[in-house]
Structure 1
C-alpha cells in the first residue's frame, strides 16, 4: 500500500499537440510539483517537452 502512495503512476503528455504520452512513476518526496521532462515524440520526430497530467 505504501508503494502506491509514495511513487504514483503519472502520465506525461507532449506539449507539441500530437497526443503522444509516456507513462512513468515519480517520487512525491523528491518531486512534489508537476514533472516536466524533455523526451522524444515519435509523431513530431523530435525531442519536445512533456508535462505531467493529473
Structure 2
C-alpha cells in the first residue's frame, strides 16, 4: 500500500499514555490536519481521545 494517496493508513495512539493503538484510513482532502477520534482504551477501561501518530 502506498501512503501518498488520498486515503492513507494512519495509526491512532491513545492520549491516556497506555500505548494502545488503532489503525484506520483517513481522507487527506477532508481531514488535512491530524485526526483525533474518541475511542475505547481497554487498558484505561474508558473512552479517551486517540490522536494520529506520525
> TM over 0.5, yes or no?
yes
Query: What's 2:32 paired with?
Result: 32
Q: Distance in 1 between matches of 2:34 and 2:16?
A: 18
Higher helix share: 1
TM-score, with structure 2 as normaliser: 0.92
**Greater displacement, 4-13 / 20-29:** 4-13
RMSD: 1.9
Consecutive unaligned residues in structure 1, runs of 5 or more = none
Alignment of 1:1-54 (within 5 A): 5-54=5-54
Runs (4+) off by over 2 Å:
none
Distance, in Å, in 2 between the alignment partners of 1:17 and 1:6 is 29
Using the size of structure 1 for normalisation, the TM-score is 0.92
Cα offset, 1:50, TM superposition = 0.3
